[in-house]
Amino acid sequence: MSLDEIRPGERCRIKRIMASGLLGQRLLDMGFIPGVEIEVIRNAPLIDPVEVRLGEYQVSIRHDEARYVEVEPL
């Protein structure tokens, strides 16, 4: 299951980042690290972004980027 499929209010744990290169490094730099628990705050159904809470801060990413974050629901 990918991050863009998680609904607002749900929590999940990152299993792996499926992107490589610059996008993969960018996601890692923003805190999308395997094992980290995240909560989806907002997920626009058709238009970007997906807003998530990573620890104490919030991050918004595009749906295209969220598809590369494999997660497991908690």
Domain residue limits at 40: 3-73
Q: In what order do the strands lie in the sheet with 50-54?
A: 57-61, 50-54, 37-43, 11-17, 69-73
Look up tokens 């972004």; give the residue: 49
Q: Do 36 and 28 contact (CB within 8 A), yes or no?
A: no
Burial classification of residue 45, based on how many CB atoms lie within 10 Å of its CB (0-12 exposed, 13-18 middle, 19 or more buried)? exposed
List the CATH number of the domain containing 40.
2.30.30.90
Q: Do 66 and 4 contact (CB within 8 A), yes or no?
A: yes
Tens of pLDDT along 28-55?
Answer: 999 999 999 999 999 887 788 999 999 8
Total number of domains in the chain: 1
Tens of pLDDT along 7-27?
Answer: 999 999 999 999 999 999 999
